Structure 1
Amino acid sequence: MANSPSARKRIRQIERRTAVNKARRSRIRTFLRKVEEAIAKGDATVAAEALKSAQPEIMRGVTKGVLHKNTASRKVSRLASRVKALSA
Protein backbone atom coordinates (compact mmCIF):
# COMPACT_ATOMS: atom_id res chain seq x y z
CA MET A 1 0.00 0.00 0.00
CA ALA A 2 1.22 3.48 -0.85
CA ASN A 3 2.21 5.53 2.17
CA SER A 4 3.70 8.73 0.83
CA PRO A 5 1.47 11.49 -0.54
CA SER A 6 3.26 11.40 -3.89
CA ALA A 7 2.65 7.65 -4.20
CA ARG A 8 -1.04 8.15 -3.40
CA LYS A 9 -1.23 10.84 -6.07
CA ARG A 10 0.44 8.55 -8.61
CA ILE A 11 -2.17 5.88 -7.85
CA ARG A 12 -4.96 8.37 -8.52
CA GLN A 13 -3.31 9.46 -11.77
CA ILE A 14 -2.81 5.86 -12.91
CA GLU A 15 -6.49 5.07 -12.25
CA ARG A 16 -7.57 8.01 -14.41
CA ARG A 17 -5.17 7.12 -17.24
CA THR A 18 -6.25 3.46 -17.09
CA ALA A 19 -9.89 4.44 -17.49
CA VAL A 20 -9.10 6.68 -20.47
CA ASN A 21 -6.92 4.05 -22.15
CA LYS A 22 -9.52 1.36 -21.55
CA ALA A 23 -12.18 3.50 -23.24
CA ARG A 24 -9.86 4.20 -26.20
CA ARG A 25 -9.00 0.53 -26.61
CA SER A 26 -12.69 -0.38 -26.49
CA ARG A 27 -13.50 2.26 -29.12
CA ILE A 28 -10.77 0.92 -31.42
CA ARG A 29 -12.04 -2.64 -31.00
CA THR A 30 -15.57 -1.49 -31.90
CA PHE A 31 -14.32 0.05 -35.14
CA LEU A 32 -12.35 -3.11 -35.93
CA ARG A 33 -15.40 -5.26 -35.25
CA LYS A 34 -17.50 -3.19 -37.68
CA VAL A 35 -14.95 -3.84 -40.43
CA GLU A 36 -14.80 -7.56 -39.57
CA GLU A 37 -18.59 -7.86 -39.68
CA ALA A 38 -18.77 -6.11 -43.05
CA ILE A 39 -16.11 -8.45 -44.42
CA ALA A 40 -17.96 -11.48 -43.02
CA LYS A 41 -21.19 -10.35 -44.74
CA GLY A 42 -19.29 -9.94 -48.00
CA ASP A 43 -20.36 -6.32 -48.52
CA ALA A 44 -17.37 -4.62 -50.14
CA THR A 45 -18.70 -1.04 -50.06
CA VAL A 46 -19.70 -1.18 -46.40
CA ALA A 47 -16.38 -2.82 -45.54
CA ALA A 48 -14.45 -0.11 -47.38
CA GLU A 49 -16.38 2.64 -45.57
CA ALA A 50 -15.88 0.92 -42.22
CA LEU A 51 -12.15 0.63 -42.89
CA LYS A 52 -12.00 4.29 -43.89
CA SER A 53 -13.50 5.29 -40.53
CA ALA A 54 -11.49 2.74 -38.53
CA GLN A 55 -8.08 3.71 -39.89
CA PRO A 56 -7.83 7.17 -38.26
CA GLU A 57 -9.17 5.73 -35.00
CA ILE A 58 -6.46 3.05 -34.97
CA MET A 59 -3.74 5.60 -35.71
CA ARG A 60 -5.10 7.88 -33.00
CA GLY A 61 -4.54 4.96 -30.63
CA VAL A 62 -0.87 5.06 -31.67
CA THR A 63 -0.48 8.77 -30.94
CA LYS A 64 -2.18 8.34 -27.57
CA GLY A 65 0.06 5.42 -26.63
CA VAL A 66 -2.63 2.73 -26.54
CA LEU A 67 -1.20 0.77 -29.47
CA HIS A 68 2.29 0.31 -30.83
CA LYS A 69 2.90 1.85 -34.26
CA ASN A 70 3.79 -1.45 -35.92
CA THR A 71 0.78 -3.21 -34.42
CA ALA A 72 -1.57 -0.56 -35.76
CA SER A 73 0.07 -0.60 -39.19
CA ARG A 74 -0.17 -4.38 -39.32
CA LYS A 75 -3.87 -4.33 -38.41
CA VAL A 76 -4.69 -1.66 -40.99
CA SER A 77 -2.66 -3.43 -43.67
CA ARG A 78 -4.30 -6.80 -43.09
CA LEU A 79 -7.78 -5.32 -43.03
CA ALA A 80 -7.09 -3.32 -46.19
CA SER A 81 -5.89 -6.41 -48.03
CA ARG A 82 -8.99 -8.36 -46.94
CA VAL A 83 -11.29 -5.54 -48.08
CA LYS A 84 -9.42 -5.30 -51.38
CA ALA A 85 -9.76 -9.06 -51.93
CA LEU A 86 -13.46 -8.76 -51.18
CA SER A 87 -14.03 -6.13 -53.85
CA ALA A 88 -11.97 -7.98 -56.46
Structure 2
Amino acid sequence: MANNKSAKKRILITKRNNLQNRFYKSSVRTLTKRFLSDLETYKISQSNTDKDKLQNGLSSIYSLIDKGYKKNVYHKNTAARKKSKLAALLKAA
Protein backbone atom coordinates (compact mmCIF):
# COMPACT_ATOMS: atom_id res chain seq x y z
CA MET A 1 0.00 0.00 0.00
CA ALA A 2 1.07 3.56 -0.62
CA ASN A 3 2.98 5.22 2.20
CA ASN A 4 3.06 8.85 1.16
CA LYS A 5 0.65 11.44 -0.16
CA SER A 6 1.91 11.50 -3.75
CA ALA A 7 1.74 7.71 -4.07
CA LYS A 8 -1.86 7.73 -2.80
CA LYS A 9 -2.72 10.44 -5.31
CA ARG A 10 -1.15 8.44 -8.14
CA ILE A 11 -3.30 5.43 -7.19
CA LEU A 12 -6.45 7.57 -7.43
CA ILE A 13 -5.36 9.05 -10.76
CA THR A 14 -4.56 5.60 -12.14
CA LYS A 15 -8.02 4.34 -11.19
CA ARG A 16 -9.66 7.35 -12.83
CA ASN A 17 -7.63 6.97 -16.01
CA ASN A 18 -8.31 3.24 -16.13
CA LEU A 19 -12.06 3.85 -16.07
CA GLN A 20 -11.75 6.49 -18.77
CA ASN A 21 -9.61 4.23 -20.96
CA ARG A 22 -12.04 1.34 -20.59
CA PHE A 23 -14.98 3.58 -21.50
CA TYR A 24 -13.42 4.86 -24.72
CA LYS A 25 -11.99 1.53 -25.84
CA SER A 26 -15.15 -0.48 -25.17
CA SER A 27 -17.35 2.18 -26.77
CA VAL A 28 -15.23 2.22 -29.91
CA ARG A 29 -15.32 -1.59 -30.06
CA THR A 30 -19.10 -1.67 -29.61
CA LEU A 31 -19.75 0.99 -32.23
CA THR A 32 -17.33 -0.71 -34.62
CA LYS A 33 -19.19 -4.01 -34.30
CA ARG A 34 -22.48 -2.20 -34.91
CA PHE A 35 -20.94 -0.44 -37.93
CA LEU A 36 -19.73 -3.74 -39.39
CA SER A 37 -23.14 -5.37 -39.00
CA ASP A 38 -24.78 -2.34 -40.63
CA LEU A 39 -22.22 -2.57 -43.41
CA GLU A 40 -23.22 -6.18 -44.11
CA THR A 41 -26.87 -5.10 -44.22
CA TYR A 42 -25.99 -2.31 -46.63
CA LYS A 43 -24.08 -4.68 -48.92
CA ILE A 44 -27.24 -6.77 -49.26
CA SER A 45 -29.84 -4.02 -49.60
CA GLN A 46 -27.91 -1.04 -51.09
CA SER A 47 -30.58 1.35 -49.77
CA ASN A 48 -30.03 5.03 -49.07
CA THR A 49 -31.32 4.77 -45.51
CA ASP A 50 -28.71 2.14 -44.73
CA LYS A 51 -26.02 4.35 -46.26
CA ASP A 52 -27.11 7.28 -44.09
CA LYS A 53 -27.04 5.01 -41.06
CA LEU A 54 -23.49 3.98 -41.96
CA GLN A 55 -22.36 7.60 -42.33
CA ASN A 56 -23.84 8.53 -38.95
CA GLY A 57 -22.24 5.51 -37.32
CA LEU A 58 -18.88 6.29 -38.86
CA SER A 59 -18.96 9.90 -37.69
CA SER A 60 -19.78 8.83 -34.13
CA ILE A 61 -16.91 6.33 -34.16
CA TYR A 62 -14.57 9.01 -35.50
CA SER A 63 -15.68 11.34 -32.74
CA LEU A 64 -14.97 8.80 -30.00
CA ILE A 65 -11.61 7.86 -31.49
CA ASP A 66 -10.59 11.52 -31.71
CA LYS A 67 -11.68 12.18 -28.13
CA GLY A 68 -9.77 9.09 -27.02
CA TYR A 69 -6.67 10.36 -28.80
CA LYS A 70 -7.06 13.76 -27.19
CA LYS A 71 -7.20 12.13 -23.74
CA ASN A 72 -4.20 9.87 -24.48
CA VAL A 73 -6.24 6.68 -24.61
CA TYR A 74 -5.01 6.03 -28.15
CA HIS A 75 -1.68 6.80 -29.77
CA LYS A 76 -1.91 9.09 -32.80
CA ASN A 77 -1.05 6.34 -35.28
CA THR A 78 -3.45 3.88 -33.68
CA ALA A 79 -6.31 6.36 -33.96
CA ALA A 80 -5.43 7.09 -37.58
CA ARG A 81 -5.19 3.38 -38.40
CA LYS A 82 -8.61 2.62 -36.89
CA LYS A 83 -10.24 5.49 -38.77
CA SER A 84 -8.53 4.57 -42.02
CA LYS A 85 -9.58 0.93 -41.77
CA LEU A 86 -13.23 1.87 -41.25
CA ALA A 87 -13.18 4.37 -44.11
CA ALA A 88 -11.67 1.77 -46.44
CA LEU A 89 -14.37 -0.74 -45.51
CA LEU A 90 -17.08 1.81 -46.24
CA LYS A 91 -15.50 2.79 -49.54
CA ALA A 92 -15.24 -0.84 -50.64
CA ALA A 93 -18.95 -1.46 -49.95
TM beyond 0.5: yes
Q: Distance in 2 between matches of 1:18 and 1:47?
A: 30
Residues paired across the two proteins, number: 86
Identity %: 36
Q: Give the letter aligned to residue 54 of structure 1.
A: I
Structure 1 counterpart of 2:22: 22
Structure 2 counterpart of 1:59: 66
Bigger shift: residues 31-40 or 63-72: 31-40
Structure 1 counterpart of 2:11: 11
- What's the CA shift string for 1:18-45, capped at 9, x where partnerless? 1122112222222222212112333651
Q: Give the letter aligned to residue 58 of structure 1.
A: I
Give the gaps of 5 or more residues in structure 1. none
Give the gaps of 5 or more residues in structure 2. none
Structure 2 counterpart of 1:85: 92
